Structure 1
C-alpha cells in the first residue's frame, strides 16, 4: 500500500484531471486519499499551492513514459505517432471523456494567476519537449526537427483533449493525430533532401 503522501499526490492528480485545480478542494483530496486532514499540512505545509505544484511535477513527469511506451518501440516515427494519438482516443472513450491531461487543466487555470503552479507546469512541459526530442531524434531527425515535431505533438494532443472533452467526440483527436503525422512526414522528407 502506498504511503500517505503518495496517496495524497495520486488523489490530487486524479481530482485535478477531472475537476481542475480550482474545482478541487483539500477535503476532497484527503477523503479520496483515505488520509487524515492534518496529514495534508504535515506533508504540504504550503497548503494547496504546494500540493498542486508537487502533483503537477509528479504526475506530469510520469507522462514522459508515454514516449517510451509509444514512440521508442515503434518501427518508424509515423507508427509511433499514430499509436500515441490512438491511445488518446481510447482513453477518452474508456473514461467517458472525463480523463484528460491534469497538467494542461492546471496550466489553463493558473498560468496568469499563480506563479509557482505556472512554473511547475512549465517545468513539466519542458521535460516533455526534451524527452520527445530525444525519442524522435533516434529516428534520424535533427534535434531541431525532433523538437519541432515534439512541440507539434504536445500542442495537438493537449488541444485535442480540450476539444474532445468539450464536444464528447474523438474527431479532434483523430484530426490532431493526422496533422502531427503530416508534420512528421514533411520533416522526414526534408531530412532526405539535405
Structure 2
C-alpha cells in the first residue's frame, strides 16, 4: 500500500509543478502520463475523475503547504507588520536564489478560471480565504476591529499575490521588494 501512496504523491508533486509552469489547460493527460511514467489505467486508479480531480488535489495540497508555512512565520512574530516583513523577505530570498516562487501563488492555475469547473473555482476560493484568514487573525491580534482586519486582510492578500505575479512575470524581485517596503511604511503609519 505504501507504493500506491508514494505514486499518488509523486503524481501530485509533478502535476503541481507542471500546472504552475504551464497552467491547467497547457498540460495534457498524455504529458502527465509520460512525465509521471504512468499508464492511463494507473492514473485513473489514483484519480478516477481524471485530470480535474488531480487539479483539485494539487490545489488543496498547495493550500495546506502555504497556510502551514504562513502559520509558522506568523506565530514567530508579535505583530502583523513583523510577520509580513519576514514572509516577504523569505519570498524575495527564494526568488533571488531560485528565480521562482514555489507554492505561494495559485495565479497560474486561477487565470484559467473561465474554462474550469465550479468545484475548481471553489477550491481556489477556499485557498485564498485560508490565506486571508491568517492575515485577519494576526491583524485582529494587533487591535484592528473585525471589519478593519477583514478589509486589511483582503488588501494584503491581493497586494502580495499581485506582487508575486509581477515578480514572476518581470523576472525580478523588485515588485516584491517594493510591496514589502510600502506595506512596512503603511502599517507603521497606521500605528
TM-score range, shorter chain: 0.7 to 0.9
Q: What is the TM-score normalised by the length of structure 1?
A: 0.83
- Cα RMSD of the aligned pairs, angstroms, is 2.3
SS state at 1:64 partner = helix
SS state at 2:76 partner = coil
Cα distance change of structure 1 residues 138 and 29 upon mapping to structure 2, 3 Å threshold: farther
Residues 11-58 of structure 1 deviation map (CA, whole Å, 9 limit, x = unaligned): 211222222212223344344445444222112122111111121122
SS state at 1:45 partner = coil
For the 8 Å contact 1:4–1:35, the answer to whether it is kept is: no
Q: What is the TM-score normalised by the length of structure 2?
A: 0.84
Residue 105 in structure 1 maps to residue 85 in structure 2: no
1:30-41 equivalences in 2 (<5 Å): 30-41=33-44
Residues 34-92 of structure 1 deviation map (CA, whole Å, 9 limit, x = unaligned): 54442221121221111111211221232112322222211332221111111111122
**How many residue pairs end up in the alignment?**
187
For the 8 Å contact 2:24–2:55, the answer to whether it is kept is: yes
Distance in 1 (CA, whole Å) between partners of 2:102 and 2:75 is 24
Distance in 2 (CA, whole Å) between partners of 1:140 and 1:92 is 32
Distance in 1 (CA, whole Å) between partners of 2:136 and 2:172 is 30
Cα distance change of structure 1 residues 76 and 126 upon mapping to structure 2, 3 Å threshold: closer
| Unaligned residue ranges in structure 2 (runs of 5+) | none
Corresponding residue for 2:162?
159
Residues 171-190 of structure 1 deviation map (CA, whole Å, 9 limit, x = unaligned): 11111222333443355x3x
Distance in 2 (CA, whole Å) between partners of 1:186 and 1:98 is 29
Q: Which shows bigger deviation, 55-64 or 143-152?
A: 143-152
For the 8 Å contact 1:20–1:106, the answer to whether it is kept is: yes
Corresponding residue for 1:137?
140
Residue 169 in structure 1 maps to residue 187 in structure 2: no
